Every structure is written in C-alpha cells, then in structure tokens.
C-alpha cells in the first residue's frame, strides 16, 4: 500500500502528525502533472489549512495543470509557497485573478466565495467552493464524487462555460460516504448523527491553539483562548457554530439540509448533535439508522467493503474500531461498530461509527476529486 508523504514544509502543525498507509484511492485518479494542454488552476485561500491541503492533494494525485495561481488576502500577498518542487508567490485575490483560469479551488470563507465565486464563473472559470456560500442554492451542484456524481453532469473544462460547484460540509461528506451504500440498498427513513469534531474544522489557527493550550494546561498555566471562548485542551463542548431559532446549531442543520439535497430526498428525517473534541484533524461520527427495508449487519458489512473510498475497521474480539488517528492524512473513510440497533424490531435499524480526515476527504480531497471529474 502507498504511503502519503507529500506535505508542504510551511504547515508545521500538519507535518508533525503521523502518516499512515493509505487504503485504496478513488478510481478516478488521474496520472499526469504539469503539461501545456492541461487546465489552468487557481487556489483561493492557499495559505490556510485547507488551501495547503489542496496543494498536497493535487501533488499526491498528479493532477494535470498548465499553470497555477496562488491566491489569498492582501495580508498574505507576497508570501512564498512550495508546490510540486517549485516556489510560487502568493497574489492578492481580485476579480481579475481569474482571467484565463479554467478551475478555481476556493477555501477562503463564505464571504469571499460570495464576492468572488460568481465573478470567476462569469469569466468562464469552474469554481469548486469549500465554503457554505452556495451549498443550498438551487442550481448549484452539491457533490460527493462517490455519492452523486450525476449532479454535475454537463459541467466540463473546455466548454468555455463557467460554473459553481459546492463542496459539502466536512461532517456531511464523512457521514454520507459510509451511509449512502446502505441507503441505496435499504433506503434510510431516519438518521441520527452525533459528531466528535476535530480542531482542523476551525482552521489552522485552532489547531495551533489546541497544541498551545495542551502545553499550558499540562504546565498548570491558564489556557490561551483566542479562537474558542473556553478551554479546549482536555475538554469538549457543543460545536461553536451559531445556534439557530430551532435550538440546533448551524453545523447540525448543515447535516440535515445537505443530506436531503445530495440524496435528492426531501422526505428523509435527519437529526444531529455536533460536538467539538480535542483532536487535531479527523472527525468521528456515531450514526444510528432506520431503514424502510430490512438490512442485516452482515449484508451491511459487505456493502461497505465494496464501497469506494470506505474501509472497515471492525474487530470485536480485540475491541478495535476506527479512531481519528487511523484516518489522519488518509484519503478513505473508516467505518466500524457495525451492529443491529436492538431498540428496533427486526433488521430495520443499524448503528455504525465513522471516522474521516476533515481536511482531506472532508474538504480538499473531495474538491480535487470534483475537479478530476471536470477533465
């Protein structure tokens, strides 16, 4: 099995984390690199955690490109970033940045995406956006390549037409990678999700703060709380997203709404509780499922074993199941604790536990896989 080794030197918090063998890659992998006939790229928000991972994934997957623009805020302009053995100067993001750009990968926050995404599309650029700006906009595909590739049918590089494509929320991607094969077989009626979300979901600064706080707390010092309003090290708390009128936070409602859009099923019932836990870069999710048709756990295991981008860690004898460390820096999502829900009659309910790398499959990898489908 291959090992992921390419991680850029200017992201120290990421490079300190353990690299583990990668299971199997998504089948649409493209084996090319810098070439004149390939599309021109832009990476927006290149100095952030996901922006850095965009570069890592593009390099790992030998994504074909003829040129690449490194774009970020005025504050970051002038910085140097390494990619594929070359150094690039970060440019300030402007509307003119997208002249001649075929594909732009965005991860610079919703307000930046709303301002510059449509402008880029108007200039003929296909925008793959990692923010929540366009996810629930009618006509904008919300895509997990292994789940609903048909949603972006007809959008291709070389047509001269720009477009917006939304990357789902990290928790939604990780959840649906495991649940969709089961849904296709037995149709999910109701899904209850509890998430255990890593620092990386709040960005590189949050990851640095978790490391800093951990050192401070272990040394008996008061923790520095700049990103989060309370102690994060050796603690956990309800996800820091704003609370909506119905009592759910925005992160929880993303899981509800995005699942319905991706599955094209307005009837499926989804509820979620999202928790921030002191883990660096991989999310974990406990998922309880109720089906319209019976599905026993052995059939579920077989479906998951065959599912692209998913692998099973489910050894009851040794009490070995997925952990965030198992999937950190990996492409695939791990699933385990596969068992019949004893609170439901017959084989109409299952419980599973899912882990996935929030920065990689939960963000950058999914976006690059979408870009691969544009070629």
- Catalytic positions: 170, 283
Distance, CA of 22 to CA of 3 (rounded, Å): 6
Distance, CA of 107 to CA of 166 (rounded, Å): 11
Token digits of residue 148? 């609903």
Residues 136, 354 contacting (CB under 8 angstroms): no
**Is residue 119 classed as helix, strand or coil in its secondary structure?**
helix
Distance, CA of 298 to CA of 139 (rounded, Å): 38
Residues 17, 328 contacting (CB under 8 angstroms): yes
Distance, CA of 130 to CA of 108 (rounded, Å): 8
> How are the residues of the chain apportioned to helix, strand and coil, as percentages rounded to the nearest 5?
30, 25, 45
If one counts every other C-beta atom within 10 angstroms of the C-beta of residue 160, the result is: 7
Distance, CA of 144 to CA of 369 (rounded, Å): 8
**Closest CA relative to residue 334, chosen from 370, 297, 305:** 305
């Amino acid at each position: 099995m291959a090992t992921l080794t390419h991680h850029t030197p200017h992201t120290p918090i990421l490079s300190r984390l353990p690299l583990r063998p990668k299971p199997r890659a998504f089948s649409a992998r493209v084996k090319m690199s810098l070439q004149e006939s390939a599309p021109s790229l832009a990476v927006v928000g290149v100095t952030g955690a996901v922006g850095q991972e965009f570069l890592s994934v593009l390099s790992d997957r030998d994504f074909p490109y003829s040129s690449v623009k490194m774009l970020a805020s005025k504050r970051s302009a002038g910085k140097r970033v390494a990619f594929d053995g070359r150094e690039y100067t970060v440019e300030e993001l402007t509307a003119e940045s997208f002249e001649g750009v075929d594909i732009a990968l965005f991860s610079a926050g919703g307000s930046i995406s709303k301002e510059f995404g449509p402008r880029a599309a108007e200039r003929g650029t296909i925008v793959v956006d990692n923010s929540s700006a366009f996810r629930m906009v009618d006509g904008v595909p919300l895509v997990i390549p292994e789940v609903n590739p048909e949603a972006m049918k007809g959008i291709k590089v070389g047509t001269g037409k720009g477009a917006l494509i939304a990357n789902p929320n990290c928790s939604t991607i990780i959840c649906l990678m495991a649940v969709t094969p089961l849904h296709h077989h037995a149709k999910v009626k109701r899904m209850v999700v509890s998430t255990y979300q890593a620092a990386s979901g709040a960005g590189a600064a949050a990851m640095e703060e978790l490391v800093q706080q951990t050192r401070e707390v272990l040394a008996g010092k008061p923790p520095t709380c700049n990103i989060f309003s309370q102690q994060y090290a050796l603690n956990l708390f309800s996800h820091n997203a704003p609370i909506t009128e119905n009592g759910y936070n925005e992160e929880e409602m993303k899981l509800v709404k995005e699942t319905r859009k991706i599955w094209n099923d307005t009837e499926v019932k989804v509820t979620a509780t999202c928790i921030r836990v002191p883990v660096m870069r991989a999310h974990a999710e406990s998922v309880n499922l109720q089906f319209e048709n019976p599905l026993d756990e052995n059939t579920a295991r077989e479906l998951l074993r065959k599912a692209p981008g998913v692998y099973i860690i489910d050894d009851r004898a040794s009490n070995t199941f997925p952990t965030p460390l198992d999937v950190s820096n990996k492409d695939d999502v791990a699933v385990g604790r596969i068992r019949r829900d004893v609170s439901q009659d017959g084989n109409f309910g299952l419980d599973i536990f899912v882990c996935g790398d929030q920065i990689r499959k939960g963000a950058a990898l999914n976006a690059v896989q979408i870009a691969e489908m544009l070629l």
